[in-house]
């Protein structure tokens, strides 16, 4: 699968040299499984010590991350989710509806949120597009949490599935990098 990289002037093929990836793990590490994205980001940062892979761990998505998105060919958002079977992993492409709307002529520009607390992966990509003219292919990799109570430990269900989450991130990165270390 070849990922897309959109710019306001068109798409470019990621087989060009020097691909860059961004991993953003986010959540509250003081609320048990809500911190799974940050834990995963920390582990991935140790595994992939490549200058072409930037890893950010944060409490929440912030507008400042749009610049890093714009410099990347691929972004992986890693977060915990609620409502599914604890430990269940999902991976979905992050649609940037503002790009689709602009391409079809239905909208002129994305509306940016007033507060960063409401920033979603799609809105962050729209911000990247609006401010820098670039929006990379992106995926939301999430793991269903069991406990969101105060605490710094991940639940047993999330800990047990963390290796699969990390392997899924490696698989996604493998779409643009050929020499990645095993997890």
- Domain boundaries of the chain, sorted by first residue: 19-173
Average of per-residue pLDDT values in the chain = 84
pLDDT score recorded for residue 9: 40
DSSP letters, 116-145, are: GGG--HHHHHHHHHHHHSEEEEEEEEEEE-
pLDDT score recorded for residue 96: 64
* CATH fold for the domain made of 19-173: Rossmann fold (3.40.50)
Pairing of strands 53-58, 10-11: unpaired
pLDDT digit string, tens, across residues 151-180: 999 999 999 999 999 999 999 999 999 888
Which segments of the chain have a pLDDT < 70? 1-17, 96-118
pLDDT score recorded for residue 99: 53
């Amino acid at each position: 699968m070849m990922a897309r990289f959109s710019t306001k002037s068109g798409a470019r093929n990621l087989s060009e040299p020097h691909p860059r990836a961004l991993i953003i793990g986010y959540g509250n590490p003081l609320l048990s499984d809500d911190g799974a994205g940050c834990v995963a980001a920390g582990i991935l940062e140790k595994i992939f010590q490549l200058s072409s892979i930037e890893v950010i761990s944060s409490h929440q998505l912030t507008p400042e991350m749009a610049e890093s998105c714009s410099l990347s060919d691929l972004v992986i958002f890693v977060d915990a989710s609620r409502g599914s079977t604890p430990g269940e992993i999902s991976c979905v492409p992050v649609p940037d509806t503002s790009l689709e709307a602009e391409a079809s002529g239905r909208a002129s520009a994305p509306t940016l949120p007033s507060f960063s607390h409401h920033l979603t992966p799609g809105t962050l990509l729209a911000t990247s597009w609006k401010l820098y003219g670039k929006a990379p292919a992106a995926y939301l990799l999430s793991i269903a949490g069991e406990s969101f109570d105060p605490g710094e430990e991940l639940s047993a269900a999330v800990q047990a599935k963390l290796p699969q989450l990390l392997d899924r991130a490696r698989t996604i990165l493998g779409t643009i990098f050929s020499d990645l270390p095993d997890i």
